[in-house]
Chain A
Amino acid sequence: GESVGLHLPTLSVQEGDNSIINCAYSNSASDYFIWYKQESGKGPQFIIDIRSNMDKRQGQRVTVLLNKTVKHLSLQIAATQPGDSAVYFCAEAKGNTNAGKSTFGDGTTLTVKP
C-alpha cells in the first residue's frame, strides 16, 4: 500500500531523552492499532494499543498517536532507558475479530546510548 510519513529502520537516542518511532499503515479500513517490542531472542511483547475512534492514548512512559488522515501512527517513549533497546513493530487489524490476523510493519531498531 501507499506509505506516508517518515519511517526509520534504526533510531539511536541518548539515555534520558525522549524517543519517537513512526509507522505508516496501509489499510484505511484498519480500526485497531498495536505497538509491540521485540528483544533479541524473544517474541514480540505488547506495549500499547489504540482504537480508531481515538487519536491519542497514554501508558506508563509511552504514548501512541494516531493520525487517520495520513494513516500514520507514532510511539513516544519518555525518558528512554537502556532496557528500551529493542525492535519496535506497529501492527494494524480490521474488524472486531481480526486482531489475530494483524499486519505488521517493518520494525524500527531502537538503540539507547548510556
Chain B
Amino acid sequence: KAGVTQTPRYLIKTRGQQVTLSCSPISGHRSVSWYQQTPGQGLQFLFEYFSETQRNKGNFPGRFSGRQFSNSRSEMNVSTLELGDSALYLCASRAGAAWGNSPLHFGNGTRLTVT
C-alpha cells in the first residue's frame, strides 16, 4: 500500500505571496492532519480533516487554511507569507474514528522557504 504523498517536496516563495501544498493520504484513510515543524517550535498541529470537514484546529492565524476533497486528498494554503512561515509542513493520515485511536502515518513533508 502506498504511503502518504506530499507535493511539492520543496518550495521557495517570497514574502506576501501565497502557497498551496498537496497531500494524498494512504488509501482508505479518511482523516488527514497537517503539522508545521520548525527547529524552535517542534511539531505544531495545524488542523485535521475528516470526511471533508475540519474536525480540529490548532492555534495558527487565519492565513493558514485547508480543505479535504471527496477522495480524502487534502490541500493546505498559506496566504500573505511571512518569513516565520519557513518550515517543514507535514501531512499525516490515519484510519479515523471508526477504528478508535490509531497512529498517524506521515508523508516526508514539503520544505517551504520564504525569502
A residues near B, CB below 8 A?
A: 31-32, 34, 36, 41-46, 49, 51, 89, 91, 93, 96-107
Contacts and interface: CB of A to CB of B under 8 A. Distances in A.
B108 A41 contact: yes
Contacts of A42: 108
B103 A100 contact: no
A43 B94 contact: no
B62 interface: no
A99 B101 contact: yes
Interface string B77-99: 00000000000001010100100
Interface in B37-88: 42-43, 45, 48, 50, 55-56, 58
B104 A102 contact: yes
Contacts of A106: 42
A8 to B, nearest CB: 15
| Closest 7 A/B residue pairs (Cβ) | A43-B106, A100-B48, A104-B43, A101-B56, A46-B103, A97-B97, A100-B33
A43 B107 contact: yes
Contacts of B105: 46
Contacts of A105: 42
B94 A45 contact: no
Given A43-B108, A101-B48, A101-B58, A93 B101 contact: yes
A107 B42 contact: yes
Given A101-B56, A106-B42, A96 B100 contact: yes
A103 B4 CA distance: 20
A91 B90 CA distance: 15
Given A100-B55, A107-B42, A32 B101 contact: yes
A49 B101 CA distance: 10
Q: Which of A36, A97, A100 has the most CB of B within 10 A?
A: A100
A51 B102 CA distance: 10
B31 interface: yes
B103 A34 contact: yes
A105 B4 CA distance: 22
B68 to A, nearest CB: 12
